[in-house]
Amino acid sequence: MPDIFVGNTLKNDNPKSEEITESKAEEKRKNKELKSIDLRKQIIEFEGNEGHSHNHLTTAYCERPLGVTFADRLENEELLLFLRKHFITNVPWIVSALALVISPFIFIAITQFGGLPINFLPPIYIFMILLLYYFFVVGFIFVNYLTWFYNIGLVTDKRIIDIDFSSLVFENVDATKLSQVEDVGYKQVGIIRSIFDYGDVHIHTAGPAANFEFLAVPHPERIINIINDLIGKVQHIHV
Amino acid sequence: MFDQIFNIFSALTLIKVIFLIVNGMYVGFLLVVYKQSRAMQAVVNDGTSSSLLNSIALLNVIIGISIFVAALIVL
């Protein structure tokens, strides 16, 4: 009993020892924080390819892109992967646009050979109709490009985000935490997909959250490796 | 002869009216495109690319209105 009493009085009488224990606790807390920062750094420092870091008008795959911002970004959330459909998937509408560009010339050639009579129209009418027609073609190209451009998949160090934009009036943004991702897989079927190295990435999530699909994205194998790596590290942090 | 000229004139008027209606509807569509382009830029901003697309969308609207006005005057 006296020992305890003496101990208490010593502790109370010596504020320095209290400070020492407090500083030790603080040191421990700082060490813990540093460890968690190290783990976060490990997540971010996956095998980054510097060649992909610049984003431009035809980019379909970009690791740690520069200058990209998105809505509802969480605090300290870092964007790791920026995905769109492979640019080769735009070929069908590009071919259609080229056909639309050359079709007036074919039409004029037919009329010159006497197939269709449009001679009754004054030249200014023909010019204005052609002007409007080519304006339509520009609109067709622009809308198709915009649809491709804003169909985006994002992988951050915290979440997976799928942004869908189609038919100009439909926009849908889904997001899930990396901790909710259960399984990741990809499908690459066909010669063209094998040649240009693109495929569909499927991400299965736990619970009621929707499953994610990044369709026709470049380097699907690399993407699932990165996501698997992130999932593993996120789980490691949670443990 | 007079009937023939009158027929051509009315055909041209009809073409002008159809032209203006189609162009007017198209300008409306382009306004939707511009609005959606801005909305998507708010969701994902790809830096200069998004701004460039927004500018192209706005330019399309301006050109559409210009063609409409030109058609009103010229045709």
pLDDT tens-digit readout, B21-63: 999 999 999 999 999 998 888 888 887 888 899 999 999 999 9
Q: In Å, how far are A16, A102, A201 from A8, measured between CA atoms? A: 14, 95, 64
Sequence spans of domains, chain B: 2-74
Q: Which amino acid is located at A11 in the chain? A: K
Instruction: Using CA coordinates, name the residue in chain A closest to B43.
Output: A71
CB contact under 8 A, A125 and B53: no
* Domain total of chain A: 3
Kindly report, residue by residue over A98-128, the tens digit of the pLDDT: 999 999 988 888 877 766 666 677 889 989 9
State the pLDDT at residue B6.
62
State the pLDDT at residue A199.
92
Judgement on whether residues A170 and A211 belong to the same structural domain of the protein: yes
Judgement on whether residues A80 and A161 belong to the same structural domain of the protein: yes
Q: Is the pLDDT of residue A53 over 90?
A: no
Judgement on whether residues A98 and A179 belong to the same structural domain of the protein: no
Judgement on whether residues A54 and A162 belong to the same structural domain of the protein: yes
| pTM across the whole model | 0.76
State the pLDDT at residue B5.
61
Q: CA geometry: angle at B68 spanning B67 and B74, to 5°?
A: 80
Q: Which residues of A touch B52 (CB under 8 A)?
A: 57
- Residues of B (18-57) whose Cβ lies below 8 Å from A: 19, 22-23, 26, 29-30, 32-33, 36-37, 39-40, 42-49, 52-53, 56-57
Q: Is the pLDDT of residue A41 over 60?
A: no
> What is the ipTM score, two decimals?
0.87
Q: Is the pLDDT of residue A228 over 80?
A: yes
The runs of H, that is alpha helices, within chain B are 2-43, 48-74
CB contact under 8 A, B40 and A165: yes
Q: In Å, how far are A19, A29, A156 from A15, measured between CA atoms? A: 6, 21, 47
CA-nearest of A189, A211, A184, A212 to A199 is A189
- Higher-confidence residue of B72 and A25: namely B72
Burial code (b: 16+ CB inside 10 Å, e: under 16) for A68-89 equals bebeeeeeeeebbbbbbbbbbb
How many Cβ atoms from other residues are within 10 Å of residue A40's Cβ? Answer: 17
Judgement on whether residues A55 and A167 belong to the same structural domain of the protein: yes
Judgement on whether residues A109 and A180 belong to the same structural domain of the protein: no
Judgement on whether residues A155 and A201 belong to the same structural domain of the protein: yes
Judgement on whether residues A130 and A171 belong to the same structural domain of the protein: no
- Choose one of A129, A146, A163: the last residue of a domain: A146
How many Cβ atoms from other residues are within 10 Å of residue A34's Cβ? Answer: 10
State the pLDDT at residue A39.
44
- Choose one of A98, A120, A146: the last residue of a domain: A146
- Higher-confidence residue of A116 and A198: namely A198
CB contact under 8 A, A129 and B19: yes
Distance from CA of residue A73 to its chain's centroid? 13
State the nearest Cα–Cα gap between B46 and chain A, in angstroms.
5
Judgement on whether residues A33 and A53 belong to the same structural domain of the protein: no
Q: Which residues of A touch B64 (CB under 8 A)?
A: 135
**Domain encompassing residue A167:** 46-68+76-85+151-238
State the pLDDT at residue A30.
63
Q: Is the pLDDT of residue A136 over 90?
A: yes
Rounded distance, CA A69 to CA A154, Å?
11
Judgement on whether residues A52 and A41 belong to the same structural domain of the protein: no
State the nearest Cα–Cα gap between B2 and chain A, in angstroms.
15
Judgement on whether residues A142 and A166 belong to the same structural domain of the protein: no
Sheet containing A212-218, strands listed edge to edge, beginning at the edge strand earlier in sequence: A181-187, A198-205, A212-218
Judgement on whether residues A96 and A193 belong to the same structural domain of the protein: no
Region of poorest pLDDT, from A29-38, A50-59, A160-169, B19-28: A29-38
Provide the token pair at A163: 């942004």
- Smallest Cβ–Cβ distance between B30 and the set A122, A139, A173 belongs to A139
